[in-house]
A and B are shown apart, each in its own frame.
Chain A
Amino acid sequence: MIQKGRAWKFNDNISTDLIAPGRYAHLRSNLPELAKHTLEDARADFAPNVKKGDFVVGSRNFGLGSSREHAAIIIKMCGTSAVIAKSFARIFFRNCINIGLPVIEVDTDKIDDGDILELDLQKGVLLNTTKGTSFTFPPLPTIMTAILSEGGMVEYLKNHGDLVLKA
């Protein structure tokens, strides 16, 4: 399946405090409400305007900081197709896979805010149709590919009943 949408560009070091601020901790039991504040402290125009299929495009060390999985969940709830960055903080990266949100590492210096992107996850290709450029990215470890393609860790465990490194 090919996903298409616009790029929302973010700087280096977007922390989970910027994605899902602690001052909204009381909304973690009400995720649709929390999602209205997604990335609010980094870009207040993101949550009100993001459309289904759009991409969050970070730079270096995206998602650093706390382990709060809510950060990944609300980015997905906004309709985001994938998070793309030059590099990710490890807990955030893993959280995205576990909840079934694709995370892709490419050189995002070549993507500007508002560019239209097309993602083919199976082929491992990202097109920047605005600039006419394309990126390829290496596949994830087998266990991550399985978790992601099966819709997240909950589905994965229901399907397999156990953790298996090579599906």
Chain B
Amino acid sequence: MGKTMVEKIIGKHAGKEVVAGELAIVDVDLAYVQDWTGPLAISQIREMGFKELKRPERVAIFIDHSSPSSAKEIATSHIGLREFARNTGCKLFDVGSGVCHVIVAEKLARPWDLIIGADSHTCMGGAFGALATGMGSTDVAVAIAFGKTWLKVPAAVKVEVKGKLQKGVYAKDLMLYLIGKIGADGASYKSLEFVGETTENLPMHERLVLTNMAIEAGAKCGIFPSDIKTKAYLAEYGREGDYKEIAPDPDAVYERKIEIDASMLEPIIAFPHTVDNVRAISHPDCADVSIDQIYIGTCTNGRFEDLKVAADILKGRHVKEGTRLVITPGSKDIYQKAMRAGLLDIFVEAGGAVNSPGCGACPGAQTGILGDGEKCLSTMNRNFKGRMGNPNSFIYLASPAVCAISAITGKITDPRRFI
């Protein structure tokens, strides 16, 4: 019987053949935490009595959620994270480095890897043909100290996308459409395996959007086969040697198949307060939605190409009076590329506020907390009530193109006329 990609990867790491539904104990290739989940993981490692890490070179700590720190308590917890990295020899990505998942994509994720992170969007690493999944601090503590975890082999949902995305329509729109179609728990406990001509043609920065948001449909992971584009991306970061091929068997068994014709898609907006509450931009609900703040960045859409799309729209224009534009590049590398390409200048000229790389306004504790009753349109991956620090505010999700043009008009706007 043919195998899905997750069955192959889990089988390799369990040292035995597995099928969906089975439990397995697996070796972990990369375990990581961020500054909001790391302190608890470290105290659990101590509680369990571990003094040494099995493979410190495959453990990473990221200071990205409150970065630079936003409160004295957080600054103090950062000290503990730095000490742990020093004492154990694991990798540390300190203030200024960027969002954990973005850096994992640039520097650490490899095809065939099994990756566990104490952050729900760890699933983004699946774009490389890895099994990457988020867990809580205690599970990741076990993986950090022990190099192992246990998991259930997820049943796979095959997402087959055909047709070409229209100009001005992106992977973000495709993913919001898919989540709207199957619901916020539509893939709970499952793996989303992305195949088909459209996804094959998507560049890596767009594949990463799809796998990033797999969790927003409840999935354990999202995964792509590896190919020439994976190889080129790894090569761009000096990691060509990390490339390996992975693909599902032609007769792999899927629990369900979802077919999408990408050519029919319009830009999609997720309305407050759930990601599956979506509307196509031509829907009457999208007319005249005034926006107080635009936020462009995050692990979902804070890559160079996203900033480029936004800059091309913002160039020579100015943000509408009464609307604020906040931009946070996903990583140091992206920040520097954007700087060298003149994008940061365009943002600042247009009236935007550019922050240092990290999670920025996304998790709701700094640099862009919303006021009572305010509406934010963002490239983020989730719009839960209170997400951006105020339960009395409203978050809408969209692509970088929709966000950029809406910054100029001050209301939700279709970007297709402007590209």
Pairwise interchain contact B386-A95, C-beta atoms closer than 8 A? no
* Cα of A30 to Cα of B71 in the assembled complex, Å: 13
B-chain residues with CB within 8 Å of residue A154 when the two chains form the complex? 44, 47-48, 138
Pairwise interchain contact A95-B384, C-beta atoms closer than 8 A? no
Pairwise interchain contact A153-B384, C-beta atoms closer than 8 A? no
Encoded as 1 (CB less than 8 Å from any A CB) or 0, chain B from 13 to 57 comes to 000000000011100000000001101100010011100000000
Please give me the residue from chain A that is nearest to B387 by CB atom. A17
Q: Interface of B with A (CB < 8 Å)?
A: 23-25, 36-37, 39-40, 44, 47-49, 65-66, 70-74, 76-77, 117-120, 122, 134-139, 142, 146, 148-150, 152, 184-185, 188-189, 218, 220, 274, 363-365, 369, 382, 384-387, 389-391
8 Å CB interface, A71-129 against B: 72, 87, 89-91, 94-95, 98-99
* Cα of A30 to Cα of B382 in the assembled complex, Å: 26
Please give me the residue from chain A that is nearest to B65 by CB atom. A25
> How many chain A residues touch the partner (CB < 8 A)?
42
A-chain residues with CB within 8 Å of residue B37 when the two chains form the complex? 67-69
- The listed residue (A28, A94, A158) touching B49 by CB distance below 8 A is A158
Pairwise interchain contact A153-B74, C-beta atoms closer than 8 A? no
Pairwise interchain contact A23-B77, C-beta atoms closer than 8 A? no
Pairwise interchain contact A28-B40, C-beta atoms closer than 8 A? yes
Pairwise interchain contact A157-B48, C-beta atoms closer than 8 A? yes
A-chain residues with CB within 8 Å of residue B138 when the two chains form the complex? 69, 95, 98-99, 152-154
Q: State whether the Cβ of A141 lies closer than 8 Å to any Cβ in chain B.
A: yes
B-chain residues with CB within 8 Å of residue A89 when the two chains form the complex? 185, 188, 218
If A60-B185, A61-B185, A163-B150 touch, does A26 touch B70 (CB 8 Å cutoff)? Answer: yes
Pairwise interchain contact B220-A165, C-beta atoms closer than 8 A? no
* Cα of A27 to Cα of B134 in the assembled complex, Å: 22
- The listed residue (B24, B44, B120, B391) touching A66 by CB distance below 8 A is B120
Pairwise interchain contact B36-A25, C-beta atoms closer than 8 A? yes
A/B pair count, beta carbons within 8 Å: 149
Please give me the residue from chain A that is nearest to B382 by CB atom. A65
A-chain residues with CB within 8 Å of residue B390 when the two chains form the complex? 23
A-chain residues with CB within 8 Å of residue B25 when the two chains form the complex? 163-165
Pairwise interchain contact A65-B120, C-beta atoms closer than 8 A? yes
* Cα of A67 to Cα of B47 in the assembled complex, Å: 20
Q: State whether the Cβ of A38 lies closer than 8 Å to any Cβ in chain B.
A: no
* Cα of A68 to Cα of B40 in the assembled complex, Å: 10
If A21-B364, A41-B385, A163-B142 touch, does A91 touch B185 (CB 8 Å cutoff)? Answer: no
Pairwise interchain contact A22-B386, C-beta atoms closer than 8 A? yes
Please give me the residue from chain A that is nearest to B138 by CB atom. A98
Encoded as 1 (CB less than 8 Å from any B CB) or 0, chain A from 21 to 55 comes to 11101111110000000000100000000000000
Q: Across chains A and B, which 4 residue pairs bring their CB atoms closest together, nearest first?
A: A22-B364, A69-B136, A95-B136, A26-B71
Pairwise interchain contact A61-B184, C-beta atoms closer than 8 A? yes
4 further interface pairs, Cβ-Cβ under 8 Å (given A70-B40, A98-B136) = A17-B382, A18-B386, A67-B118, A153-B142
* Cα of A94 to Cα of B138 in the assembled complex, Å: 10
